[in-house]
Amino acid sequence: MYNSDDNEQNISDVDQSDKEYAELDTKPTIEELTLKLEESQKLFAISEDKLKRSIADFLNLEKKTRNDIENGINDKLDKFLLKFLTIYDDLRRAKDILIKENINAQGLDSILKNIDSLLTEYNISPINALGEIFDPNLHEAISVIVDESLDENTITKEIRKGYISHKRTLRPTLVEISKKQ
């Protein structure tokens, strides 16, 4: 006897079976999943490497920019200090002339003391050269005298004071050095 409920059940079973078969057919195999995992891991490693390189490039750029700014500031400051030291030298020479002329130089003397303390406060110190051996990093020789009693390249006279700041030579000391015959 024909039962329509049984027929519907059979059709339903066939539909369900087709769905399961279709699902089985579209499910990836373990090998395929393993390959996809390996590809994903490779892509992740590449992306991670690119990220690390980008971070390193950024840090290098940041460091270079900081150094460029610092060097630019130091160059401007050095130029200013060189001009300032020229004025300072002029004031010292003026004081020496006033003293030779027996003119009171106390006002100028106190200005020079203030400048000395300002230079000290900012770690700018004079290069003491007299009696030292010539160092081209700190001194500039502009004359030579023959003196057998002194070691070769001994500084015998300071012509212009030199200055250093934070272990950088702002201005070399102009000196006269000795040579042996």
pLDDT value for 4: 56
Q: Please, what is the end-to-end C-alpha distance for the chain in angstroms? A: 139
Q: Residue 10: in which H helix or E strand, if any?
A: helix 4-26
The residues that bridge with 155 in the sheet, in sequence order, are 177
The pTM (predicted TM-score) of the whole model is 0.63
The residues that bridge with 174 in the sheet, in sequence order, are 140, 160
Q: Is pLDDT at 10 greater than 90 in this prediction?
A: no
Burial class (CB in 10 A: 0-12, 13-18, 19+), 165: middle
Does domain 126-181 correspond to CATH entry 1.20.120.50? no
pLDDT value for 180: 87
Closest CA to 85 of 126, 128, 32: 126
Each residue's pLDDT tens digit, 131-161: 999 999 999 999 999 988 888 999 999 999 9
Mean per-residue pLDDT of the chain: 88
CB 174 within 8 A of CB 152: no
Q: Is pLDDT at 95 greater than 70 in this prediction?
A: yes
Task: Give the C-alpha separation, 32 to 56, whole Å.
Answer: 36
Task: Give the C-alpha separation, 38 to 107, whole Å.
Answer: 84
| Tokens 């499910």 sit on residue | 27
Q: Is pLDDT at 46 greater than 70 in this prediction?
A: yes
pLDDT value for 64: 97
pLDDT value for 166: 83
- Computed from CA positions of residues 64, 68, 74, 75, in that sequence, does the dihedral angle turn out positive or negative? positive
Mean pLDDT of 110-125: 94
CB 176 within 8 A of CB 142: yes
DSSP 110: H
